[in-house]
Amino acid sequence: MKRKGVIIDKSLHETTIIVVDLLNAEEILTYIFRENVEGEFREIRDILKQNLRIKDKYCKADVSNKAKNVYEMRFTKSGKNDRIYCQELHTNRKRFIIMSELFEGKKSQDIPKKIKSRIETIGSYEYEL
């Protein structure tokens, strides 16, 4: 079954479209509109809409071939170490960045097996856009 997403923002020429997974939308949107997160999300969103990649803010979640299209938004200000894992799809000269799942409180440099398997699952999601 294909998952659905809701468009929350797009670049001026609609070449980059930011989407949130419908099943996880409430949790993700509640998180990104928190007072201490909203500014950092706005910064990441602006970077993406300009077609830039800044590794400290948005980078590939390089865990395995199963997750080859999975990226992570990194929220690290105010002592946080949270991630929103995203699937990035390219179609018809458009880049869709789908915010799939939120992980709060990453504790180490390494990715634990439990989170690695979730990232691989995110990589297998199919979206209806």
Question: Which of 46-55, 69-78, 81-90, 109-118 has the least mean pLDDT?
Answer: 109-118
Closest CA to 98 of 17, 19, 13: 19
Reported as a single tens digit per residue, the pLDDT across 80-101 is: 889 999 999 999 899 999 999 9
Q: Which domain holds residue 57?
A: 3-124
What's the pTM value of the predicted model, to 2 decimals?
A: 0.92
CB-neighbour burial class of residue 35 (10 A; exposed 0-12, middle 13-18, buried 19+) = exposed
Whether 88 is covered by a domain: the verdict is yes
Domains contained in the chain, number: 1
Whether 11 is covered by a domain: the verdict is yes
Whether 129 is covered by a domain: the verdict is no
Please state the rounded mean pLDDT for residues 65-78. Answer: 90
